Homo-oligomer: A and B are copies of this chain.
Amino acid sequence: MITVYGMRASGNCYKLQLLLDQLGRACRWVDVDSVHGETRTPAYLAKNPNGKVPLLELEDGRRLAESNAILCYLAEGTSLWPDDAWLHAQTLQWLFFEQYSHEPYIAVARFIKLFLPADHPRQAELPSLYQRGAQALAVMEQHLADRNWFVGERYGIADIALYAYTHCAADGGFELQSFPHLRRWLARVQAQPGHTPMQC
């Protein structure tokens, strides 16, 4: 059985939980608390030198890091990662968008609000994070104005990756009221067969 090293409250880790549940695929889940230093221990760094969760470990011991690379690997050959060069390319475009233009603002604001004390110096980052995160949400809103899913005609791993931190953006202080297409897309994702909520 595959093993996932992850933290339940992390959106990057939740992506894998959601995909595996929807594929009906079991995994051994090993909790690693990145907020309290468990990704920086020598034992964990030996598994992932970049010191992050999630991490996938196969039955034969091979390991793969980076949530969106793991999504692609696990979804290969399923309807969630369509075997078509252009659909693949567009999916990758949105996965890189998520990691570069979305997660560093929306997930980081959530981290600061949920896990750091109210007088922590990093609270000063919030105004800039709100500005950049709102730009990412606006790009998504525009894309969803005339389509149901991020890529092609069906739900796939681009939706899973973007859903992970968008659905809990309010935790970080983002307001989704002015993004009606985005809110309808969140509801469509939640209505997918096998959808499971984030456990945190």
Q: Are A90 and B68 in contact (CB under 8 A)?
A: no
Partner of A86 from the list B62, B65, B70, B86 (CB cut-off 8 Å) is B62
* Residues from chain B with Cβ under 8 Å of A72 in the complex: 88-89, 92
Q: Are A85 and B89 in contact (CB under 8 A)?
A: no
User: Which of A14-22, A27-35, A95-103, A181-189 is near enough to bind chain B?
Assistant: A95-103
Q: Are B64 and A93 in contact (CB under 8 A)?
A: yes
How far does the alpha carbon of A5 sit from the alpha carbon of B64 in the complex, in Å? Answer: 33
Nearest opposing residue in chain B for A48, CB measure: B139
**Interface size range on A against B:** 20 to 34
How far does the alpha carbon of A139 sit from the alpha carbon of B49 in the complex, in Å? Answer: 6
Q: Are A69 and B49 in contact (CB under 8 A)?
A: no
Partner of A49 from the list B67, B86, B143 (CB cut-off 8 Å) is B143
How far does the alpha carbon of A157 sit from the alpha carbon of B99 in the complex, in Å? Answer: 19
* Residues from chain B with Cβ under 8 Å of A76 in the complex: 85
Q: A73-B85, A73-B92 are in contact. List 15 more A-B contacts (CB 8 A).
A: A49-B139, A49-B142, A50-B101, A52-B101, A62-B86, A65-B97, A66-B93, A66-B96, A66-B100, A70-B89, A72-B88, A92-B92, A99-B99, A100-B100, A100-B103
How far does the alpha carbon of A104 sit from the alpha carbon of B103 in the complex, in Å? Answer: 13
In the complex, 22 of the A-B residue pairs with CB atoms within 8 angstroms, ordered by the A residue number, are A49-B143, A50-B101, A64-B89, A64-B90, A65-B93, A66-B97, A66-B100, A69-B89, A69-B92, A69-B93, A69-B96, A72-B88, A72-B89, A73-B85, A73-B89, A73-B92, A76-B85, A92-B92, A95-B96, A96-B96, A96-B99, A100-B103
